Amino acid sequence: MKKLNIYFTAGIPQLEDTADIIKLIQNSGADMIEIGMPYSDPVADGPVIQKAHELALQNGMTIEKLLSQLKAIKDEIRIPIILMGYINPVLSFGFEKFCAACSESGVSGLILPDLPPIEFEKNYQQILKQYNLNFTFLVTPETSDERMIYLDSLSSGFLYAVSSSSTTGNENAVLKNESYLSRIASLPLKNPVMIGFGIKSKDNFENVTEKADGGIIGTAFVNILLQDRDWKKSAIDFIHSIKA
């Protein structure tokens, strides 16, 4: 069975909805949850997730608030929670302080796409190990085989393979990039490979995971939270439709 990872931005639609959304995702059958930490300049994200970041910040979401929400429900959560964000707010918070708080709040791992691998090895890898946190790097169709193997060696938990060279939710994302997916599948990687960016339906999910271990859905799910008044029912139906 291919793994389903659902992403959403913390602090939307309302500041206090985060815990309910986490429980809803878990109870609907997803295998892991990726939570976006809102940031004022989310450069890797498309318009939907940028809008979610704006709303979350307006609602008052902060790293501190998110970690406190997670800590309050950690005993109810049985699937991995990964925090995704940008390095600057984490450094402002204090990297080791952040890792310690993540560990206390039931977080399994981190994705910080703008943290360079060399910096990671030099300054942060040991701190993450100390607090038993996984760290995931991203690869793209432009990443060479040699660099994929290198990034996989630094990663733990899973390796994030971006479906195409685009921002999240891009309508033109090339989901079925056969040569790229075959190339990844042929490499001696130690981590499971999860494909993300542009997956909106069960067909998309099944297509991209033929040669991978799972898929990550973000924009399509965030859209429900932003646009649907009855988002709880719609979100459950959406996850069920992918897992069915």
Q: Label each residue of the chain as H, E or C.
A: CCEEEEEEECCCCCHHHHHHHHHHHHHCCCCEEEEECCCCCCCCCCHHHHHHHHHHHHHCCCHHHHHHHHHHHHHHCCCCEEEECCHHHHHHHCHHHHHHHHHHCCCCEEECCCCCHHHHHHHHHHHHHHCCCEECCEECCCCCHHHHHHHHHHCCCCEEEECCCCCCCCCCCCCCCHHHHHHHHHCCCCCCEEEECCCCCHHHHHHHCCCCCEEEECHHHHHHHHHCCCHHHHHHHHHHHHHC
75 is catalytic: no
Determine whether 34 is an active site residue: yes
Catalytic residue among 34, 41, 119, 152: 34
Catalytic-labelled residue, pool 45, 96, 152, 178? 45
User: What positions carry a catalytic annotation?
Assistant: 34, 45
